[in-house]
Amino acid sequence: MAQFLAFLIYSSLVTLFSFLLVSGDQTNVHELSQATYIVQVQNDLKPSNYATVLDWYSSTLKSLKASTTTNFTISHTLLKTEEVDFLYLYTAVFQGFSAKLTRQQALELEKLPQILGVFQDQVRQLHTTRSPEFLGLVARTQPNGLLKESDWGSNVTIGVIDSGVWPERRSFHDKDLGPVPPHWRGECVAGDQFPKTLCNKKLIGARYYYSGHLAHFGDRKKLIKSARDDVGHGTHTASTAAGRRVENASFFGFARGVSHGIAPKARLAVYKACWEDGCSESDILAGIDDAVRDGVDVISISIGGQPTTYDDDVISIASFGATRSGIVVSASGGNSGPTLGTVSNVAPWMTTVGAGTLDRKFPAEVVLGDGTVLTGSSLYSGKPFPAGKTFPVIYAGNATDLERRPAANDSDYYSELCVPGWLDAELVKGKIVVCDVGVIPIPAKGVVVKEAGGVGVIVANVAPFGEGLIAEAFLTPGVWITESARDKVLSYTIVSENPRATMRFKGTKLGAKPAPMVSFFSSRGPNSVSPYLLKPDLIAPGVDILAAWPDYIPPTWLSEDPRRTQFNIISGTSMSCPHVSGISALLKGVHPDWTPAMIKSAMMTTAYMDDRDGKPMRDERNHRTATVWEAGAGHVDPEKAVDPGLVYDITVDDYVSFLCASNYSNQRIKVVTGKEVDCKKSKVMNTWELNYPAIVVPLSASGPSKLEVSVPRTVTCVSEGVRSYTVEITKPEGVTVRVVPEKMVFEKKGDKQSYVVKILADDHKRRGSSGTSEFGLLTWTDRKHRATSPLVVTWVN
């Protein structure tokens, strides 16, 4: 039930996307029907008699076609040989191709020695005026250290894999920008409503991919076949990461101020792989492949699905190839919170980002007839209720149209959700209707109420979403309230003979407390694929983010919404991800020699777990203290990340050893890395021994036990001069923790030192039950720097 509710609420609160992984061509189950497959090939096995890999691939498929009953056909192709059509060839992060095959042909391909993997194409879903100041990058509109040191990211390129861009927005102008970085090798590809002249020294690259989408969905909708954004999501994420300064930005007066992205001078390259129906993996892979060839420095990908093993995850495989090329990959962790174990994009070579709140709110009040005032959230900008006038209130569950409602198994449940066709107009007319969250978007509930004759809507949280809120752009007077407020409203409607209420809309409030908090929708750890690898890595602003928006796209995505705007306010880990992408670009600008692992380490070890008042950060859902399962290492702090003191670096060979320790076979690892590996020759380790800037270990929940877990780590000094570090430990409950050595001295920048953390269950203390965890911290400090790692003990049988 909880998972079902998680799906229902997500469809209402972030975007029109559900974030559920949808398998490709599920209806084509017959052996002879065709679907799109992504085929990974070991290219070094190409026989010498073939001039190119394309010739080799074509010959292989021609032979296969001759032995099977069906030709290779697709509705649209990018590449054609004499008899074989390919959707894409992949050469950078992944070697191989995609094409339409029957299931029989795919199975035959898998038997060939040169084929590493055959993946059926799947469709994934897409997972600011205040953010830079909240992050400490600017103070009263003046830039602080990181922006200045990086020249606002001017020599760094961010590749955004998303739904494209609306290039005319002021966020993408190139005034006063210098030459394009010399390492850029990409291009601006013209297409529908997108001539090459729309690119400039800011938007330096634009490509688009629709072959996988057409192969999956067909031509049922006319596509804008160019990088022009016809969804909105891509414009928003691109401008969040690297939008230029725009004065007097707002969403119909809300959040008014100076808008700019995190890295305002960073160059943008957009790779449109997502459309209204979602994002085909074959298109995503083509976008990442091109981004690496084009020379981007950071890849931002706010797309995901259900977490799965690394060798079965195309995004994970492609991200490994990008990381091997020195490119930072920042990915959204998902919006399936508050359920534990739901975080996605969990590969150790990716930076996985959860969502936190800002200190900016958009409060609205529900004032009940008995004088009770309940504060919720709203972006309603229309005509308010007359001052002093109240209206009757009715709960949607008590306003069911028994004759007109659609057939369903649980009529009471659906009537509470204000689904179209379920409300009785006679009961609703002239009233404010209380609707529970779920099934349809929040603003759509207001439309349903209005069409039934209601005057306003109160949308109420139900379990497990608790006290979490985001702002929604209601078309009719509407307020979103918490679960505890819902209880008060419904109690009032029961005890009052004539329940009445009104609404008051309070605009924009800065300095809201507590902040930051972990957003209630942000997907949580622990990591379901690798339990002893911390995910999410950290959190960043992802709630009520103002950023650029296309023309012609309603801010709510509802066909009933006539409004158009240059900026929109939306929420999700899709919004927090580009914040970290932008910060990564700034760090790369200051430290061009840092590896992706060093950049991630700098952000994680300097992240914080306190709110602005110095109190422990809270989980928005219930206002309890947040743990690393919700917040990862904490909230990103870019001004500290630029000078972390120490970093934890990880090599490609380290990742291979991690996969070996995860019991992946040599063949499965070759699918991820594209290279021959031999785990017998790999460094012997446990998964928690990967040189990660966080420590998660198992200990026996049944005692007594003297088994001590040893965790090695190596740190690199990134500060000038001689540095002496000592260790500080906040130990998890029920264990003893020792660090050897307790002091490390670095003679110069670039020096490396190793230490071992020894963790032993304390037989004199009560241990947690199996599956529970205790949390602590390990900090190395030289009095100027503090490099902190979460320290987690999970009790197991």
Q: Of 25, 162, 229, 619, which residue is the catalytic one?
A: 162
CB 134 within 8 Å of CB 517: no
Q: Of 574, 576, 657, 789, which residue is the catalytic one?
A: 574
The closest alpha carbon to 794, from 776, 759, 770, belongs to 770
CB 39 within 8 Å of CB 97: yes
- Residue 781 corresponds to which tokens in the numbers above? 């400090």
CB 711 within 8 Å of CB 756: yes
Sheet holding 735-740, edge to edge: 646-647, 708-717, 752-761, 735-740
Beta bridge partner(s), residue 570: 545
Cα Rg for the chain, rounded, in angstroms?
27
What phi, psi does 35 have (nearest 5°)?
-145, 165
> Is 332 in the active site?
no
Tell me how far the alpha carbon of residue 327 is from its chain's centroid.
18
CA 666-667-668 angle, 5° bins = 95
A 10 A CB-CB count for 329 gives: 31
Residue 750 DSSP SS3? coil
CB 685 within 8 Å of CB 657: yes
- CA distances 679 to 41, 309, 363, 685, 735, Å, are 21, 18, 56, 11, 32
Q: Which residue has the tokens 């955004």?
A: 160
Sequence-distant (≥ 6) Cβ neighbours of residue 778 within 8 angstroms:
695, 727, 728, 729, 730, 737, 739, 757, 788, 789, 791
HEC assignment per residue over 303-332: EECCCCCHHHCHHHHHHHHHHHCCCEEEEE
Distance between CA atoms of residues 639 and 221, nearest Å = 46
> Is 574 in the active site?
yes
Strands 773-781 and 786-796, sheet pairing:
antiparallel
CB 460 within 8 Å of CB 486: yes
The amino acid present at 793, given as its one-letter code, is: V
Q: Residue 589, CB half-sphere, CA atoms under 13 Å: how many?
A: 28
Distance between CA atoms of residues 754 and 744, nearest Å = 9
What phi, psi does 22 have (nearest 5°)?
-110, 120
Return the H-helix or E-strand segment holding 618.
strand 618-619
Distance between CA atoms of residues 135 and 146, nearest Å = 11
Strands 298-301 and 328-332, sheet pairing:
parallel
The closest alpha carbon to 361, from 554, 566, 514, belongs to 514
- Residue 160 corresponds to which tokens in the numbers above? 């955004």
The closest alpha carbon to 459, from 17, 18, 13, 16, belongs to 13
- Residue 782 corresponds to which tokens in the numbers above? 């030289």
CB 300 within 8 Å of CB 328: no
Q: Which residue has the tokens 């590969």?
A: 347
- CA distances 81 to 50, 211, 552, Å, are 14, 16, 39
Distance between CA atoms of residues 26 and 650, nearest Å = 39
Distance between CA atoms of residues 66 and 107, nearest Å = 15
CA 693-698-699 angle, 5° bins = 130
Q: Which residue has the tokens 């070991």?
A: 42
- Residue 439 corresponds to which tokens in the numbers above? 């099934």
Q: Of 127, 233, 260, 579, which residue is the catalytic one?
A: 233
CB 569 within 8 Å of CB 472: no
A 10 A CB-CB count for 680 gives: 8
> Is 410 in the active site?
no
User: Would you name the residues annotated as active-site residues?
Assistant: 162, 233, 574
